[in-house]
Structure 1
Amino acid sequence: FIHFNCVKNIGVDGPATEDQLDSLLAHYRAAGILRPWFCTSPHTEPSRLRCWLEARGLQHQSGWERIFRVATPLPAEPLFPADDLSVEEVTSKTAPEWASFIDAKYRLPTSPWLIALVGREGWRHYMLKRDGAVAAVRSMFISDGAAWSGIDAPVPGIMAPSFDLDAMLGERLVRDGIAAGARLFVADIEAPRPERDGPAYRNYARLGFKIAYLRSHYSYLPAHSS
């Protein structure tokens, strides 16, 4: 699963080397992980790193669009209003409901990990509900003035055709994040488009986000066994 077996920082703290790459691949093989993932960006010497990855049999597998915004206030009126929907912050009482929704969407048994994040310093989790039932979720982690947004479900453009529910959650996160002192917000568009247009791009632009770079993913094809 890409989120649990992904190398994101190779080449960020210094020039990447082939020895580093070989060591990481050996580590995954020893752990029985046949499809590790590597993220590259314009800040990780993509040309050289891409050649090394491809020489070892890994292939480009799409990517995520990294986006950001500063703490510019949003208009007082809601940007994405909906009378039949409501957004509520997750509490210790509602944590099992939130976690089980995520597990069902991702088909993973991660509820114990997720519930442990409720109430933890820096973390805030949100559920969007329709008629009392969870319809979408998204989380935010704030540290040193930077707010990261993720743990979203269903992922728009991948798990669900609609982008509107995620936009409503994104707006709530930005408003609460600014109130909590966040100065920078970062998130990802997980269904990028070459033309950089579409509902996700338009919704995030309305929320004040800009594109930073495309984070490309490399891995073995599913049939690869070494």
Structure 2
Amino acid sequence: YEGNETVIIDITNVTGATAGATTQATVTITDDETTPTVTLSGTTTIVENAAGTATITATLSTATTTDTVVSLGFAGTASAGDYTASNTTITIPAGQLTGTITIDPTDDALYEGNETVIIDITGVTGGNGATENGVQQATVTITDDETTPTVTLSGTTTIVENAAGTATITATLSTATTTDTVVSLGFTGTASAGDYAASNTTITIPAGQLTGT
């Protein structure tokens, strides 16, 4: 695709006569290819600790005589620290139909659940006026390799009634998470409410931590 082009013919010299009032003729060559459009596609799922990367491909409907630069925006539930994008633009070289970027997930020890990276086209330049094909979007789901964390309780088993200190009960997560974990507690047994004071009826395990008391 080149778009419409012109051939302009000028008189540069006349021998045996003189140039008249009209010394130029123009021929327009109308391109029979339509203005190219860009679509996005690529890997839809990748595990957090995968050795490889997810590939996102921008594809032109028709090759052009100039580079096409596709600008990208990134959204989704994954934060910037959860992955690395190889670039924020995809360049499709002149004469070619495709260009790519990669999404490399970050392996960590936190349980986050599955997260998404949503890639949108924010602009197209070059490509002899190439445009986005409607609204194009590619989604990569990063699958968490940590299992859903579990909570266990442990702590002091015996304390004397007149003890100066307190008995400590600890809630422990099997895997740290990216959000606070709130453990609600119920109290039963032979001791009445007046026999002791609990510091709280919940235990909060802060994001990134394993324990709360």
TM-score by length of 1: 0.18
* Higher share in strand: 2
User: Structure with the greater relative contact order (CA < 8 A, sep ≥ 6): 1 or 2?
Assistant: 1
| Structure exhibiting the larger radius of gyration computed from Cα positions | 2
